[in-house]
Amino acid sequence: MSKTIYVDVAVVGGAGGGLAAAIGAREAGAEKVVILEKQKMLGGTTMVSTGIFGVGSRAQKRLSAKEFTADEAFLDFMKVNNWQVDAKLVRDYINASGENIDWMEDMGVHFDCVTPCYGLEDRTWPTFHGVIRKRQRTGTVLVRTMRQRVANLGVDVRLQTKAEHLVTNDAGEVAGVTCTDLVTGEEYTVMAKGGVILATGTFTNNKEMMKRFCPQDDLENIKIMGAFPHCTGDGIAMGEEVGAVTGTIGHLWIGPHNHGANCSEITCFLTR
């Protein structure tokens, strides 16, 4: 019989989103928090990030001469996507973005540049927060800082552990998650009385999901910068299994990038 462990909050995915979720859960009072990460290390694609979006942050006010408000960012985003995405979700994301940057600075990340997006300086505003001193990569600094915070808070980190299926109770509420230890093959269940947070990231290496969520685009010959082997949309599949509703993707930009020959970057926003 497989074992069961009991926690307050279970976080599926140990990249930037999952690390932030686990830290937030502990700071909000959850005593037992576990991160389930299928890779051998924490960080995921966040590790290769060169910057992070934010409007109204202390760093933006400190480092940028141009003022750009959350209202302006919201209208700009919605116009680019022809108002075909979830306006409330976009609004919530943008409104909280500055506070998220401030939260990371309070944790020890010091952003020392705020610029427009690289390659689109004439069409974007200074919302791109980065760490450039000593030629550091912003994502590496973010992950290193949050990883240390996770350790200090006593979060239970389980690497090479793949979440498989969400567990629901009689009322249909998500109450836990089944997982597999990829080293030993052991299967067990994590029951989380405070909820399960899906932070597994993108699906850029899942061709079926790419076609399903991006039917309007021919992506067959586009090499996507973030299509790493582990980006398979696990959390989306798990959510759909228990009835979660998925939505559309709004493409911000598809074009040449400086990450190698024939390599393009697709920037997208999933609303669900």
What tokens does 173 get? 């509420």
Burial grade of 65 (CB within 10 A; 0-12, 13-18, 19 or more): exposed
Q: What is the pLDDT of residues 108-150, one digit of tens each?
A: 999 999 988 665 666 678 888 999 876 788 999 999 999 999 9
Burial tier of 91 (Cβ tally within 10 Å: 0-12, 13-18, 19+) = middle
Is there a contact between 111 and 59 (Cβ–Cβ < 8 Å)?
yes
- Residue 162: per-residue pLDDT: 96
Question: pTM value?
Answer: 0.85
Please tell me the predicted confidence (pLDDT) of residue 98: 95
DSSP 25-80: HHHTT-S-EEEE-SSSSSBGGGGG---EE-SS-HHHHHH-SS---HHHHHHHHHHH
Positive/negative CA dihedral, 46, 31, 177, 246: negative
Low-confidence ranges of the chain (pLDDT < 50): 252-272
How high is the pLDDT of residue 206? Answer: 79
Beta-bridge partners for 256: 264
Q: Which stretch of DSSP H or E encloses residue 182?
A: none
